Amino acid sequence: MTKRSFAVALALAVVACAGGDIEPGTLNVYAASSLTEAFGELEAAFESAHPDVDVAVTFAGSQVLRLQIEQGAPADVFASANVEHMQALVDSGLVEESVVFAHNDLVIIVPPDNPAGIEEIGDLAHAERLVLGTASVPAGRYAREVLRRAAPSHEEGFEAIVMSRVVSEESNVRLARSKVELGEADASIVYRTDAGSSDRVHVIEIPRDLNLIADYPIGIVESTGMRAAARAWMELMSSPEGQAVLERHGFVLPSLTE
C-alpha cells in the first residue's frame, strides 16, 4: 500500500470510528512525549475526516500532564506512558475508565561516534556524562528499574556508580534524547520509539530479562465538552489502521503481548 493510499484508508477508518455526530470545535489531546510522531500522523487523518474538528495535541511528560489535568486544564483525552498517573486521575473521577492501547520498551542511546565506547549496559558505569528522565517521569522511573535489575550481574555498587554519572535529569524523554543528539551526554536510556524516530543516535539493546514493558493507557477526561470526538479518537487507537500507525512508529500492540 502506498503512503497516499494508506493515508486515505486511515482517514476512512477515522470516519468508521466516529459512531455518531462529532461536535465541531477543538479536541484537546494530552499525550506523553513519546507519542509525538504517531499522534501527529493520527491527528492529520482525524482532521481530514472531520474538517470541523481541530485536534490540538499537547505533548509532555505524563506526570506534568496529570498535574495539569488535576489543576483544571481543558483536556478532553489523556494518553499516558504510565498506568499509575492515569489510574490516579481515574480514581479521583477526573478521567473515565481507561484502556491500554500500546506498549513500549527501553533502549540505551549513544551519539553516533559513541565517544564513551558504550557497547552494553555494563559500560554505563564507565561513562562520564549520562542523562536520564527524572524519577517522576515514567521513562526515568523505568530506567532506574532497569539499572536495579542489572545490578546483581555487574560490578559491586553498579547501580550507585551509574547514577553518580548522571549529569542531568530531564522532565521528559525527548529532552533526554536531545542531550545525546547534541553530544552533551555519552548515553541515555529512553523508549525504543524515541530512539527509532531519531537519526542522530545509535541504539544499544537492553537484554530482555532486564528490560520492561511500559503500558500506555488512554482515557476521556470527565469534564470534556467534546465527548463524541474524544470517543472517536479513542476508538481510532484500537482500530486496525490506528494500530498500524502505532506499530510503524515502534510501539508494540497489546494483542502481541497479551
Residue 43 belongs to a domain with what CATH number? 3.40.190.10
Neighbours of 44 (CB within 10 A): 14
Region 186-202 average pLDDT = 97
Lowest-confidence segment of 18-22, 86-90, 143-147, 175-179 by average pLDDT:
18-22
Same domain, 98 and 125: no
Angle of helix 83-91 relative to helix 62-70, nearest 10 degrees, comes to 10
Whether 65 has a pLDDT exceeding 90, the answer reads yes
The yes-or-no verdict on residue 19 having pLDDT over 60 is no
Which of 205, 225, 246 corresponds to the end of one domain?
205
pLDDT value for 21: 85
**Whether residue 83 sits in one domain with residue 73:** yes
pLDDT of amino acid 149: 98
Residues 72 and 143 in one domain: no
Q: State phi, psi for 32 to the nearest 5 degrees.
A: -60, 145
The reply to whether 196 and 253 lie within a common domain is no
Q: Within a domain: residue 82?
A: yes
In this prediction, residue 14 carries a pLDDT of 57
Three-state DSSP class for 93?
coil
Domain ends where: 205, 228, 245? 205
Decide if 153 is inside a domain: yes
Q: Residue 214 belongs to what H/E stretch?
A: strand 214-220
* Same domain, yes or no: 142 and 16: no
Q: 150 with 188, same domain?
A: yes
Domain tally for the chain?
Answer: 2
237 found inside a domain: yes
Specify the 3-state DSSP secondary structure of 218. Answer: strand
Whether this model's pTM surpasses 0.85:
yes
**31 and 117 both lie in a single domain:** no
Residue 149 lies inside a defined structural domain of this protein: yes
Structural domain includes residue 91: yes
SS3 category, 13: helix
Q: Are residues 136 and 121 in the same domain?
A: yes
Q: What is the mean pLDDT of residues 28-49?
A: 96
The C-alpha cell at 2 is 502506498
In a domain, 152, yes or no: yes
pLDDT confidence tier of residue 2, bands split at 50, 70 and 90: very low
Task: Determine the pLDDT at residue 10.
Answer: 57
Do 30 and 91 belong together in one domain?
A: yes
Angle between the 240-248 and 3-18 helix axes, to the nearest 10 degrees?
Answer: 130
3-state DSSP helix/strand/coil percent for the chain, to nearest 5?
45, 20, 30
Average pLDDT over residues 58-85: 97
Average confidence (pLDDT) over 91-120: 97
Do 64 and 119 fall into the same domain? Answer: no
Does 193 reside within a domain? yes
Asked if 155 and 195 sit in the same domain, the reply is yes
What's the mean pLDDT when you consider all of the chain?
Answer: 92
Q: Tell me the CB-side half-sphere exposure of residue 244, using CA atoms within 13 A.
A: 10
Domain that holds residue 241: 3-104+215-257
Least-confidence region, from 12-21, 171-180, 196-205, 230-239: 12-21
Say if 210 falls within a structural domain: no
Quick one: 19 and 86 in the same domain? Answer: yes
Calculate what percentage of the chain has a pLDDT beyond 90. Answer: 90
